[in-house]
Amino acid sequence: MAVVTIVGSGMMGSALAFPARENGHEVRLVGTHLDREIIDACRAVNRHPKFTKDFPDGVKFYQIEEMEAAIRGADLVIGGVSSFGVDWFGEHVLPAVPEETPILTVTKGLLDTPDGRLLPYPAVWAERLAKIGRHPNLNAVGGPCTSYELVAHDQTEVAFCGHDMETLRRIREIMKTDYYHISLSTDVTGIESAVALKNGYALAVALTIGLNQRQFGLDSELHYNSQAAVFGEAVREMAKLLEMQGAGTLDNLCVGAGDLYVTVYGGRTRLVGILLGRGLDIDEAKAELKGVTLESLVVAVRVARAVRIRAERGEVDPADFPLLMHVDAILTEKAPVDIPWEAFTFEA
């Protein structure tokens, strides 16, 4: 039996308690400073407030002040924070984890640098911690997985990535079940870039839903031609961006495309894309969603900024990314939605 400590009791971090505990491991779920009410609720009824299913018997719940005790003796620490908690996790959690203890993070995103690089969060944390002489064993989860479906035991295929295959195999043995299937990759940049890129592109696909609602009415039937056209262009641009990252393999693209599919069909990114397609500007859409965190917006703007920097050096052509650049204009300039359909066509 292993000891698995999950720091961050949001939906995805909490969902991973299910396969870990069902495999017979001791599971300790720690709330961040923002999760106090969630942990109180879990202790009271053994159920996350957002789930319709109880945790497996035996999951232990900790407030943030108890994190040190929860990490002590852990065989695996899972980071369950959103991309908006990256700095907090790097400053307050990673230094508390022994270097020999593997860390598996669910946090998806990319940080752009002044020279146009796009760094996945494990690389960001590794660079920052190396400056204080720490070298954590960082690994990450990528792939199409919604938390509530994992809790429901829907068949799910993901990829764990890290720099040491033996470590990844040990983590897989802890987490895999008959419904949670795990590929392994040592290409951290490729897997993490692919699953981060899909966020902005999922928003782009959802624009078409809002456009059709504006034209035909909110209760009109769904129109799939337009969604499919944007989806196809999104995959094409993701492939080119992965090549720009030096990670343009078919496996990486498939993981990203699968994650794109899931994100289009549910969640916050779909909602904001629909609102923008209906004609709201980004400030109005944010107001409509009343403070919902929107990681997709951050990723799209950062990637577009990196593309422009690389274009200035002649390394890429912004014309190869018409969908990305349009999404960026919608978000940063409040440009009206006007999907550049003809820019998606090609001659081969």
Residue 201 shares a structural domain with residue 298 = yes
Residue 171 shares a structural domain with residue 253 = no
Residue 200 shares a structural domain with residue 88 = no
Residue 111 shares a structural domain with residue 56 = yes
Query: 10-residue block means of pLDDT along the chain (348 residues)?
Result: 97 97 98 96 98 98 98 97 90 96 96 96 95 95 96 98 98 98 98 95 96 94 94 98 96 97 89 96 90 77 98 97 98 96 97
Angle between helices 268-278 and 188-216 (to 10 degrees): 40
Looking at the structure of the chain, the number of domains it has is: 2
In a domain, 152, yes or no: yes
Q: Residue 119: helix, strand or coil by DSSP?
A: strand
CATH number of the CATH domain containing 334:
1.10.1040.10
Q: Which residues lie across from 118 on neighbouring strands?
A: 112
Q: In this predicted structure, what is the pLDDT of residue 340?
A: 98
Farthest CA pair distance, the chain: 61
* Nearest CA among 151, 206, 190, 205 for reference residue 20: 151
Contacts for 267 with CB less than 8 Å, ≥ 6 apart: 146
Q: In this predicted structure, what is the pLDDT of residue 203?
A: 95
In a domain, 191, yes or no: no
Catalytic residue among 198, 240, 286, 334: 198
Q: Tell me if residue 53 is catalytic.
A: no
Residue 103 shares a structural domain with residue 240 = no
- Distance between CA 96 and CA 60 in Å, rounded? 19
- Distance between CA 206 and CA 49 in Å, rounded? 27
Q: Residue 123: helix, strand or coil by DSSP?
A: helix
Q: Which of 135, 158, 186 is at the close of a domain? A: 186
Residue 23 shares a structural domain with residue 163 = yes
The model's pTM is 0.94
Q: Residue 24: helix, strand or coil by DSSP?
A: coil
* Nearest CA among 68, 97, 77 for reference residue 26: 77
Q: Which domain holds residue 270?
A: 196-344
* Long-range contacts, stretch 310-313, CB < 8 angstroms, 24+ apart: 310/116, 310/244, 313/116
